[in-house]
A and B are shown apart, each in its own frame.
Chain A
Amino acid sequence: MGSGTSRKRWATGPMWAVFLLFALFPYIPFIGKYLSLGTEVLIWSLFALGFNILLGYTGLSSFGHGAFFGIGAYAAGIYFLRVAQGVWGPLLLSVVAAGVFAALIGFLVAKKRGIYFALITIAISQVFYFIAFRWDEFTGGETGLSGIDRMPIGIPGLVQIKLAAPLTYYYFVLVVFAICTLLIWRIVHSPFGKVLQAIRENEVRASYLGYRTAAYKWGAFAISGLFSGLAGGLYTLLINSAFAGVLDWTQSGNVVMMTLLGGGTVNFFGPILGAAIFIVSRDLLSAYWESWMLIYGMIFVLVIVFIPSGILGLIGGRKQTILR
């Protein structure tokens, strides 16, 4: 965003570079074989990009966005197990369910500010956690939902793509990720996106200019919920299950962390970088040390204190951070 160098409303050089890098990933020696990790990076990147519409572009500090990821994850599982097996159906329900809930919740919180906004988003996300945990018949309670296989997609009789193979699923997620990245880019560079940024900079001024800021914030909340839900649905298909852990509030913390770490508040691509670093280092740390959460928590603190504008904020662009 604010870099000011790019006014294009469609894909730019850096974006193609990101897509190319991900497309080549499976063929990079040594690391390319970790396909499931790569898929997870893509999914969390999508989640963080969607979340960043709210945090980076609108300046709203939601600390309960894990709820929409979780709703998406459960929606996919429930559709698969109760309605019909498949890929498109579950993913569609992920988007719709998360979007509907985000629209409802967004309506409730759009007029809240600062601390109230943060506290209420936390509280709401926790409600979904308890629902997932307690409503056994529907969500599987503590054990969650399992057996959500990845079915083949394609045109019957013509082409069939077997998503069950990790490599094909990786590319499937990459395509979804690329389309969504383009959409999100388009949204934040549209007139609508400009108003969101105006709200971030000075909501009072934006409203004096005649914009109904609460409606814009509501829109940003709902749109970011849609993408978060889709990421959740993709995640369910990746791990073939959905359980209450995806609705844990630490998930909400993680997505904020990724977005800030990479520099989402100063650069469009920040959330992708943050998600990649976060997922990979979490994997490495947890493999070598049981108490990795200690390191994780401390890194979290150090990043927040010393590089609040994130890694891409160190390189250039808008130096401000929304944290201070």
Chain B
Amino acid sequence: MTELLSFTMNGLVLGLIFAVVALGFTLILGVMQVINFTHGVLFAFGAYFAFSMQKYVGFWMALILAPVLVGVVGLILERLVIHRTYGGNPLFGLLLTFGLATALEEVIRMVWGKTGYSVAAPKFAAGSLDLGFMIYSKYRLLLAVLAVIIILLVWLFLEKTPYGAIIKAGASDAEMVMALGKNLPRMRSFVFVVGSILAGVAGVIAAPIWSVRPTMGTAILMPAMVIVVLGGIGSFWGSILAGLIVGLSTSISVMFWARVSDIIPFVILAIVLLFRPRGLMGEKSVLEV
């Protein structure tokens, strides 16, 4: 029973990380219709930047600085090449970012080496905490809290600020938004940077429970894609819900039948798509044309 409880907790934590990564992915996909393969590498960049920084600036500063740096990388990528793919065949953006991701993963290998690192949890969050019903890793609890805060911040931003309203409008009808006098290219750059920061910050907080290695980016990309389709492309709560489902099902299936744990999310996705072709909370959109 305690075992099941700890697998469930791990699944929740994993799901929250997935949710943060998927949020950035679905934001970019929803607004720009780009399947952004660089999203995984940006996640890895977050982890690597934090790993290199934490020695000098500590955990909290790295938590701010590393995602900002990832945002800058995202901005450069978007302004340099990715903006060219807007409005094209989905394959265009997908291939372009696939090439970029391949090159960037190699950059990671060149800068930080091929082997992985393990990142220590900050001292104040090392060890475990007695929750009464179970003993659980302090860092994982901190991680869960941070992830929830990030998700709430994104929600507040999208729902309660005028900029969020413009982004949501841009996702449903980009041309109309432009006709209303909004600077669409700038808005898209902004959305891409926000998405990149989300990938980066997920990388930073995940680093201590993940093994930081060059392939970590491609490893998170696949769950992110599954989550986005499962939740419904462009759906905020869909991504969160699907993130938790994927995290929990992966983690709990490890306990019962470890070898199928990788496939479980795909099975869930297939079943859901049979009954709800647009995912759990997806709505009919321009993406289907």
Contacts and interface: CB of A to CB of B under 8 A. Distances in A.
Given A123-B269, A135-B259, A257-B99, 9 more contacts: A115-B29, A116-B233, A122-B225, A123-B226, A249-B222, A256-B95, A291-B106, A293-B106, A304-B95
Contact of B228 (A119, A305, A323): A119
Classify chain B: how many residues form its interface, as a range: 35 or more
30 contacts: A108-B270, A113-B288, A114-B89, A114-B288, A114-B289, A115-B35, A115-B233, A118-B35, A119-B225, A123-B229, A123-B266, A123-B269, A124-B266, A133-B262, A134-B262, A134-B263, A260-B95, A293-B103, A293-B105, A294-B103, A294-B107, A297-B104, A298-B99, A298-B103, A299-B99, A304-B99, A305-B96, A322-B91, A323-B89, A324-B92
Interface in B182-232: 218, 222, 225-226, 228-229
Contacts of A118: 35, 90-91, 94
Contacts of B95: 253, 256-257, 260, 300, 304, 323
A120 interface: yes
User: B88, B98, B266 — which one has the most chain A CB atoms within 10 A of its CB?
Assistant: B98
Interface of A: 55, 61, 63, 108, 112-120, 122-124, 126-127, 130-131, 133-135, 249-250, 253, 256-257, 260, 291, 293-294, 296-301, 304-305, 308, 322-324
Contacts of A123: 222, 225-226, 229, 266, 269
User: B88, B103, B228, B270 — which one has the most chain A CB atoms within 10 A of its CB?
Assistant: B103
Contacts of B33: 115
Interface of B: 29, 33, 35, 81, 84, 87-92, 94-96, 98-107, 109-110, 218, 222, 225-226, 228-229, 233, 259-260, 262-263, 266, 269-270, 273, 277, 287-289
A294 B106 contact: yes
B262 A130 contact: yes
A127 B263 contact: yes
B86 to A, nearest CB: 10
A175 B264 CA distance: 42
B289 A113 contact: yes
A296 B103 CA distance: 7
B288 to A, nearest CB: 5
A200 to B, nearest CB: 11
A154 B105 CA distance: 48
Contacts of A113: 288-289
A323 B103 contact: no
A69 to B, nearest CB: 17
Nearest to A141: B259
Contacts of A323: 88-89, 91-92, 95
A323 B93 CA distance: 9
A63 B102 CA distance: 15
A134 B103 contact: no
B94 A61 contact: yes
B273 A301 contact: no
A7 to B, nearest CB: 28
A114 B105 CA distance: 27
Nearest to A292: B106
